[in-house]
Amino acid sequence: MMGKINFRKLREGWAVQMRVIHALMIRELITRFGRENIGFLWVMAEPLLFAGLVGIIWRMLKGPEEHGISIVTFVATGYIPLTLVRHVISRCVAAFSVNSSLLYHRQIKVVDFIFVRFIIEMIGSMMAYLFIGVILIYFGEAPVPADIGLFLAGWFCHCFFALSVCFIVAPLSEMSEVMEKFIPVTLYVMIPFSGVFTMLSWTTPTVREYLILSPLVSGMEMMRKGIWGDQITAYYEPQIPITCSVICTIIGLTMCRRVRKTLSIQ
């Protein structure tokens, strides 16, 4: 009997939480994009434009292929996940203070603000990935993905790590205003260690040994292996991003709980 009651409460709590997330997502989309022009589709258009323009520039500078694969597709498969990480982390800076008035409602928690921003950016990046993938396949620039399962596993590792970092960045930005200036610089510095513009098989064994320790690299390698299959050689260790993500999540949630006690409801 007790088990049934607890299960019912859990189901009711989950339903309430989903309604809260849904409402906050609508509010966030309207606040950011309004109701005019293409509205929330800018969530997809922004990473799509970045990936497309960078891919075209690389094609003009380096030619149609790099190590036997389409340069445009290679850049797109790296830049869209990179845009996701950069945008979602940037959006989580000062996310608690700007939404502190909503904490008046008991059902809303500080982590909801992080989840909402993450979900919006993730959906936008997935839409951009799907759209540009269909276009590139149609024009023969990209192959039909060889292993969808591996691709999705790499996407999960990439997204999980981005979310876990947000759990740390959001409370840190409330503790110190310096974080707001420090984060953009950090995001640019991490690009060489993200695997966006190179693959581990293109590097020397010494460099590969260190780069594979980056939580972002394995997810990127898995996604590209899932797309090109046997056409490329990929090196990845999914336990690295998963372990780092779990550790960051535990630390971040602890920090969020402590920061929540110091926030004043305006």
**Residue 114: other Cβ atoms inside 10 A:** 24
Residue 203, Ramachandran bin (φ over 0: left; ψ between -120 and 50: alpha; else beta): beta
pLDDT given at position 95 = 83
- Domain range for 79: 38-262
Q: Which residues contact 133 (CB under 8 A, 6 or more apart)?
A: 142, 145
pLDDT beyond 80 at 105:
no
Residue 7 lies in a domain: no
What pTM value is reported for the model? 0.88
The string over 199-226, giving b where at least 16 C-beta atoms fall within 10 Å of a residue's C-beta and e elsewhere, is bbeebeeeeeeebbebbbbbbbbbbbbb
Q: What percent of the chain has pLDDT above 70?
A: 93
Q: Encode pLDDT of 192-246 as tens digits.
A: 888 888 899 999 999 999 999 999 999 999 999 999 999 999 999 999 999 999 9
Number of domains in the chain: 1
Q: Which helix (H) or strand (E) holds 186?
A: helix 178-189
Instruction: Answer whether 89's CB lies under 8 Å from 179's CB.
Output: no
pLDDT given at position 3 = 47
Residue 26 lies in a domain: no
> Tokens standing for 112?
């909801």
Residue 5 lies in a domain: no
Residue 18 lies in a domain: no
Between residues 77 and 16, which one has the greater pLDDT?
Answer: 77
**Residue 163: other Cβ atoms inside 10 A:** 24
Report the candidate in 114, 87, 220, 86 with the shortest Cα–Cα distance to residue 174: 114
Stretch 31-51: mean pLDDT: 73
Residue 191 lies in a domain: yes
Q: Residue 147 has what DSSP assignment?
A: -
> Tokens standing for 91?
């959006």
Q: Encode pLDDT of 120-149 as tens digits.
A: 999 988 988 998 989 889 888 889 999 999
Residue 19 lies in a domain: no
Q: Mean pLDDT across the chain, nearest whole number?
A: 86
Residue 24 lies in a domain: no
